[in-house]
């Protein structure tokens, strides 16, 4: 029996896993599927991270507005540190929400980034052929 490294096992599992079809509003998105074929995997990862960061910023802005009118309560009351604590808390909430799927902003941003990158790479590949 051959000894396999953890990376070999992960790679084998990844390759044998069926790929999810890109979706748009709960339906298959053939345009995005075609575009993903023309974009390098590293660019796809960067686009995904960028879209999640954008959604986290959007959510942070939304949560900050929601909590801006709240007064400090409890044993600490309304102290100078309450504002700092609240901003840090809303930032962490925003990141957690975005990482868990968010409200759909990252999907739209991801699709726009991929479509733009695919349109830039398609003409150059046709010219070289």
Give φ, ψ of 89 to 5 degrees.
-65, -45
Cα separation values, 39 from 47, 59, 70, 122, Å: 10, 28, 45, 9
Q: What residues contact 32, with CB distance under 8 A and at least 6 apart?
A: 22, 24, 111, 114, 115
Burial of 106 (0-12, 13-18, 19+ CB in 10 A): buried
Question: pLDDT tens digit string along 65-95?
Answer: 988 877 766 665 677 777 788 889 899 999 8
Global pTM reads 0.67
Q: What residues contact 70, with CB distance under 8 A and at least 6 apart?
A: 86
Domain boundaries, the chain: 23-128
Question: pLDDT tens digit string along 34-65?
Answer: 999 999 999 999 999 999 999 999 999 998 89
CB 35 within 8 A of CB 118: yes
């Amino acid at each position: 029996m051959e000894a396999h490294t953890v990376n070999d096992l992960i790679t084998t599992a990844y390759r044998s896993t069926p790929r999810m079809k890109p979706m748009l509003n709960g339906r298959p998105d053939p345009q995005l599927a075609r575009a993903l074929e023309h974009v390098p995997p590293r660019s796809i990862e960067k686009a995904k991270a960028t879209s999640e960061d954008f959604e986290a910023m959007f959510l942070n802005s939304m949560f900050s507005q929601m909590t801006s009118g709240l007064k400090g309560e409890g044993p600490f009351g309304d102290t100078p540190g309450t504002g700092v604590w609240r901003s840090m808390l809303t930032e962490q909430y925003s990141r957690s929400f975005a990482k868990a799927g968010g409200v759909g902003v990252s999907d739209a941003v991801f699709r726009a980034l991929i479509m733009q990158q695919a349109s830039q790479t398609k003409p150059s590949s046709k010219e070289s052929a």
